[in-house]
Structure 1
Amino acid sequence: MPPTPAIPPHRDESLVRDRGDACVRDRAGAPVQGRADAPVPGRGAAPVRDRGDACPGALRLHSAADGFLARLRLPAGLLTGRQARALADAADRLGDGHLSLTSRGNAELRGLGESSAAPLADLLRTAGLLPSDQHERVRNIVASPLAGLDGEGAGGGARVQEWARDLDRLLCASATAPALSGRFLFALDDGRGDVAALGADVTLVAEAGGTALLRIGDDTEALRLPGPDAPGAALAAAEAFLSVAHEAGNGSWRVRELPPGHDAAAVRARLRTRLPQPYETAAPPAPASPRPPRPGVLRSPGGTHALSLLAPLGRLTTAQLRRLASLAAQDGPGELRMTPWRGVVLPGLSPEAAGPALRELAAAGLVTDPASPWYGLGACTGRPGCAKSLSDVRADAVATLRADGTGLLPVHWSGCARRCGHPHGTWVDVVATGDAYEVSVRGTRHGAPATATVPTTEPGRLADAVAAARAATRTTT
């Protein structure tokens, strides 16, 4: 395996993880003893994080079995056509010819060579995709991908896009924000409840009338504030979290990792001391299941159309990406929205252009049918790309693919017990154990079938087990 590229001198440069949490090495490559997530004595299940997280970034590459990996943060999943073409060029010149979409609407380049770090950084800077080297890993902002495109939500369509741009600008200007973990997540919801269900650390929910609710973690109370104040308050909440986490002393990366007495409510109390006025307290929206957009054509209130598309197992070829960029430039506003469900939304098409574009993209291999068996199907990288994987989960997922109908639970295939990239809410969990898969329903307290263990040599039985689990607890969307 080639040596790990040098880490840019910004933060967490003293330690890097080698393919996940199980192996931590110093910069010379020697193993570091001790666990980064040991329980805190007297603090229940709260973990101790004695080092910064090792999430890859655009500048700090991750060594995988198929080469190096770069993870590029795309606030609100937004890409201009020019940026999409730049990523396609990077994937062709430096990587494996694909763009991988993540469960946070970000993008990954895989199969990068040992000497690719510097040319990749130059390419991304030229495309405007690296506004700040110091902050590039903390720009984790998801937003309702259909905001303003389908008439749903609380009239916050334009607002959440503005919030995303403003919050990103504020993050990149903050001297404190680089201390956030690369896993810390902001969610900007237009009121429909889709990304509010993704378990973010700081969530903004647009309300009718121009106000917003700010919730920290899974706090039982939220703050109601004027919409224009929302981005600044979200950053202040993240900075309040850093203060509380520092006092807690366990190195928490996420709000849910804070120990008792230093929890989400404590962060909210600290936030109140930093806000310009005493905003009222309100109940946050009721918990909901994530609602990924269904593929197809959407009619927008302004008379234009949008296309909702899925990339099979979250992988876009560079040819598909270039075609999306071309359609966005020719018939739309020049914008693409990557979704937290590994899809792409192409907004602003004329009614005349939408139908032909949908058919063209279907022919190019993208999922455009809401009844497609690809809808709700996800998988980690698996073999051969991940050395920790126990199986080629992508090939096995495709081999057992069935048209099970609508209203079924999403399915996620994992090559090991880490379950990288699994969805939120309730899902069918298919985990490789070596010579078999364990199939169960996770994230639910009712109606879950017993775990089934099926040998990898019996794809028919495996397909039956997955189908039974999907049908046992139906979704409500």
Structure 2
Amino acid sequence: MLAAMPPPVPPPTPAPGAPRVRERADACPGALRLHSADDGHLARLRLPAGRLTARQVEVLADAAEALGDGRISVTSRGNAELRGLADGCGAELAPLLAEAGLLPSPTHERVRNIVASPASGLDGLGTADVQLWARELDERLCAAPWAAGLSGRFLFVLDDGRGDVAGLGGDVTLVAAAPDAALLHMGGRAVRVAAADAPRAALAAARAFLSAARAAGTGAWRVRELPEGHEADVRDVRKALAAEEVPEPVLPQGPPPAPGPLGPAALHVLAPLGRLTAGQLRALLPADEVRLTPWRGAVVAGTDPARLPALEAHGLITRPDSPWAGVSACTGRPGCAKSLADVRADAVPGRPGLPVHYSGCERRCGHPHGDRVDVLAAPGGGYLVDGVPVARTDLARAVTTARTAPRTTR
């Protein structure tokens, strides 16, 4: 049976300069441990590299309709969430997911947080196909008993050299540096390893983090939470693999793939406000596989890009000039008791430009990484757009200005 969790109580904010001390275990929801929300229970399914087979797409769509609210939320890590789940749905949901291969390890299901360049191997860009690394890393992660001790927030990022995901705040980041080499980044340091050893090196780095976290005794969930003097040293990977330290490592920076064709047999679409209806998810088929992305969309591999107009007719975002490209929102009311507004109903795109995220409260759940327009619900029915009070009726103008203004004037 699935276990429902009460909403977590956030720990007190540490004093400036003091290490964060976590006095409780990570309460991040999973597929077997649900989060209780105002609109029912929530299940979060970890999908390494966002990958879904055609069969898994069908199962996920069926589960959303039969057990949830009929929609699938795509997270900023390319995972999937089912919302509106009723009490006692565990007898149906868990076997459904397990039979489809979406629960390969009940003990490790919350730690399978692996983001990889979604277009890798499809569009001719990038230095190596890191989707293959993601599959090997997932297998190694699930096979290591100690890895179950990682928090549900610990993140592996695998970038194929184009820089589309390297900046997503990974605890362990692998970057393809050449066809036969990878750079492993952790805690501000990097080492160079053979490409064939990249997944094994990433797992060794995660183990070094766990050792440092236990020695620190602060209950750290992420690498950046380790206190001074207890840093996880990526050079420890040398103990397991031949690795060469890289001086002054810099992560590559590049844009995500634009909505539209990705080579001759793949395409990229975005989900409106990060949510897909079950029908929209099924509309992505037929395909060899579907990869959910950190930009709340899907890369569809093994399909004809000429299908894009039909997918647009289903309500998906298929063009880079769509004003809704780059617009995301938290759950908001009525699903979240902390939200001050129904941000999804209030969201307006403005004109295309910078990404924009609508938040119902100061937690800003699900916000994208990097530069963005911040739209925050305020008491009394208004909003703050990049900190400036704006009436709800003026949102479209204010968001357009914020998305398109030169950065020096914002």
Question: Is TM-score (shorter-chain normalized) higher than 0.5?
Answer: yes
Distance (Å, rounded) in 2 between the aligned partners of 1:277 and 1:286? 21
**2:68 corresponds to which letter in structure 1?**
G
**Equivalent residue number for residue 14 of structure 2:** 39
Instruction: Report whether the alignment pairs 1:295 with 2:259.
Output: yes
Aligned-pair CA distance for 1:72: 0.0
Deviation per CA, 1:20-55: give whole Å up to 9, x if none: 544xxxxxxxxxxxxx35427xx8142110111111
**Equivalent residue number for residue 211 of structure 1:** 181
Question: Is this contact kept in 1: 2:76–2:368, CA < 8 A?
Answer: yes
Stretches of structure 2 lacking an aligned partner (at least 5 in a row):
none
Instruction: Report whether the alignment pairs 1:438 with 2:379.
Output: no
**Equivalent residue number for residue 472 of structure 1:** 405
Question: Is this contact kept in 1: 2:349–2:400, CA < 8 A?
Answer: no
Instruction: Report whether the alignment pairs 1:454 with 2:408.
Output: no
**2:3 corresponds to which letter in structure 1?**
A
Distance (Å, rounded) in 2 between the aligned partners of 1:377 and 1:283? 34
**Equivalent residue number for residue 374 of structure 2:** 429
Query: Match for 1:276 among 241, 258, 278?
Result: 241
Distance (Å, rounded) in 2 between the aligned partners of 1:20 and 1:59? 17
**Equivalent residue number for residue 284 of structure 2:** 324
Distance (Å, rounded) in 2 between the aligned partners of 1:252 and 1:472? 39
**Equivalent residue number for residue 349 of structure 2:** 401
**1:126 corresponds to which letter in structure 2?**
E
- Using the aligned pairs only, state the percent identity: 60
Query: Match for 1:314 among 274, 298, 302?
Result: 274
Taking the TM superposition and a 5 Å limit, the aligned residue runs for 1:106-255 are: 106-154=79-127, 156-157=128-129, 160-217=130-187, 219=188, 221-255=189-223
**1:105 corresponds to which letter in structure 2?**
G
Question: Is this contact kept in 1: 2:156–2:171, CA < 8 A?
Answer: yes
Question: Is this contact kept in 1: 2:349–2:399, CA < 8 A?
Answer: no
Distance (Å, rounded) in 2 between the aligned partners of 1:473 and 1:227? 40
Distance (Å, rounded) in 2 between the aligned partners of 1:144 and 1:80? 17
3-state SS, counterpart of residue 409 of structure 1 = coil
Aligned-pair CA distance for 1:359: 1.3
Instruction: Report whether the alignment pairs 1:345 with 2:299.
Output: yes
3-state SS, counterpart of residue 176 of structure 1 = helix
3-state SS, counterpart of residue 48 of structure 1 = coil
Distance (Å, rounded) in 2 between the aligned partners of 1:172 and 1:101? 23
Deviation per CA, 1:68-88: give whole Å up to 9, x if none: 000000000000000010011
User: Which shows bigger deviation, 362-371 or 63-72?
Assistant: 362-371
Deviation per CA, 1:170-222: give whole Å up to 9, x if none: 110111111111000000000001110101000000122310000014x1x31
Deviation per CA, 1:100-145: give whole Å up to 9, x if none: 1000000000000001123110000000110000000000000001
Deviation per CA, 1:261-289: give whole Å up to 9, x if none: 122xx43243333x233434344334636
Distance change in 2, residues 1:209/1:222 (3 Å): same
Distance change in 2, residues 1:173/1:5 (3 Å): closer
**1:277 corresponds to which letter in structure 2?**
A
Question: Is this contact kept in 2: 1:61–1:117, CA < 8 A?
Answer: no
**Equivalent residue number for residue 19 of structure 1:** 7
Question: What is the TM-score when the length of structure 2 is the normalising length?
Answer: 0.95
Aligned-pair CA distance for 1:371: 0.2
Question: Is this contact kept in 1: 2:376–2:384, CA < 8 A?
Answer: yes
Question: Is this contact kept in 2: 1:44–1:259, CA < 8 A?
Answer: no
Deviation per CA, 1:318-373: give whole Å up to 9, x if none: 11111213x21xxxxx2001100100011223xxx421x11111111111111001
Query: Match for 1:361 among 307, 311, 314?
Result: 311
**1:427 corresponds to which letter in structure 2?**
R
3-state SS, counterpart of residue 234 of structure 2 = helix
Question: What is the TM-score when the length of structure 1 is the normalising length?
Answer: 0.82
Count residues in correspondence: 407
**1:6 corresponds to which letter in structure 2?**
A
**Equivalent residue number for residue 225 of structure 2:** 257
**Equivalent residue number for residue 396 of structure 2:** 463
Stretches of structure 1 lacking an aligned partner (at least 5 in a row):
8-15, 23-35, 329-333, 441-450
**1:354 corresponds to which letter in structure 2?**
P
Question: Is this contact kept in 1: 2:41–2:84, CA < 8 A?
Answer: yes
Tell me the C-alpha RMSD between the 2 structures.
1.9
**1:161 corresponds to which letter in structure 2?**
Q
3-state SS, counterpart of residue 61 of structure 1 = strand
Distance (Å, rounded) in 1 between the aligned partners of 2:406 and 2:203? 38
